[in-house]
Amino acid sequence: MACQGVRLMDRYMAFTASIPAEAQYVLEAMESSQKITLGRRLVYKGRLFGKPIIVMITGVGKVNAAQAVTALLENAEIEAIIVGGCGGAYASSGLDIGDIAVATEEIYGDEGVFLQDGWQSMEYIGIPLLEKQQKRYFNRFSLNGKLIKKIVDILKIGAIKSKVLSGPFITVSQVSGSREIGDILYQRFQAICENMEGAAIAHVCTLYDIPLLEIRAISNMIEDRQLSHWNRTVAVQNSQSAILEVVKHWREVICQF
């Protein structure tokens, strides 16, 4: 994607989060913000560091996320989408609470079949979730590696004090509430972060040829569930600090693609 001056500035970046708290600080930083409706969805339109931006609260889960992003892409000229929010980190991921995770690919963790000898993906079934330009997508949707590397570099040298790691993310309908399940998923996919929306958004963005970034901060480790160990407040703050840093440097990023 080449740098094209004014035309790029006239297109919108989109930021999505599943719940209002995950977008609060981004909304507060926006200028000339106004509420509008796109595809029966309430969104916030304005500018962030001079960049036209649309902020959308999708709701939790794959269906909400897919419908919301489809409504957005069908009703606005979108340059790229950034997904933000909180996520759970697998014990062997190298991440701790408050750290930043950047997705290199999104994986549907539930879609497949459970046999007597264990789980198998959609590839085992033989039915892709998406076919596009002679490519078949089963459970995995890869993101732009060059774009991700640039974003990780920006976050590491910028104002972000948290650890920043990139790697595969898993999207599930049933979040992992035990260390045993988390370890199984980690061994199966070698992913670093678990969430409930990302793969559905990656799926839609692949269909529409829209660049996608997913940047989450870790609110909890995937262990035997104990809410007293969680820190959503820090995760919400850190994830949005990372988003703001990326948008601040977006012109620098996009001119390289």
Q: Give residue limits of the domains in the chain.
A: 6-254
Q: Please state which architecture CATH assigns to domain 6-254.
A: 3-Layer(aba) Sandwich (3.40)
pLDDT > 90 in the chain, percent: 90
Q: What is the pLDDT of residues 6-46, one digit of tens each?
A: 333 468 999 999 999 999 999 999 999 999 999 899 999 99
**Share above pLDDT 70 across residues of the chain, in percent, rounded to a whole number:** 95
* pLDDT beyond 60 at 100: yes
Residues 6+ apart with CB under 8 A from 248: 49
The string of pLDDT tens digits covering residues 172-214 is 999 999 999 999 999 999 999 999 999 999 999 999 999 999 9
**Does position 254 have pLDDT exceeding 80, yes or no?**
no
Chain position carrying tokens 């660049």: 211
**One-letter amino acid of 93:** S
- Measured CA to CA, the distance from residue 76 to residue 87 in angstroms comes to 28
Instruction: Give the pLDDT score at 7.
Output: 35
3-state secondary structure of 193: strand
Among 10, 23, 71, CA closest to 243:
23
Residue 160 is predicted with a pLDDT of: 78
From the list 81, 235, 62, 96, the residue with the least C-alpha distance to 165 is 96
**Confidence band, pLDDT 50/70/90 cuts, at residue 53:** very high
Contacts of 165 (CB under 8 A, 6+ apart): 93, 94, 95, 99, 100, 101, 102, 192
| For residues 155-183, average pLDDT | 93
pLDDT at 256: 60
**pTM of this prediction?**
0.93
Stretch 54-68: mean pLDDT: 98
* Helix-, strand-, coil-residue percentages of the chain, each rounded to 5: 35, 35, 30
Distance between alpha carbon 40 and the CA centroid of its chain, in Å? Answer: 22
Paired strand residues for 47: 31, 52
pLDDT score for 6? 30
Q: H helices of 49-144, where?
A: 62-75, 122-125
What's the CA gap between 252 and 123, in Å, rounded? 38
For residue range 103-116, list pLDDT tens digits in order.
999 999 999 999 99
Of 18, 140, 176, 36, whose CA–CA distance to 86 is shortest? 18
User: Is the predicted pLDDT of residue 5 greater than 70, yes or no?
Assistant: no
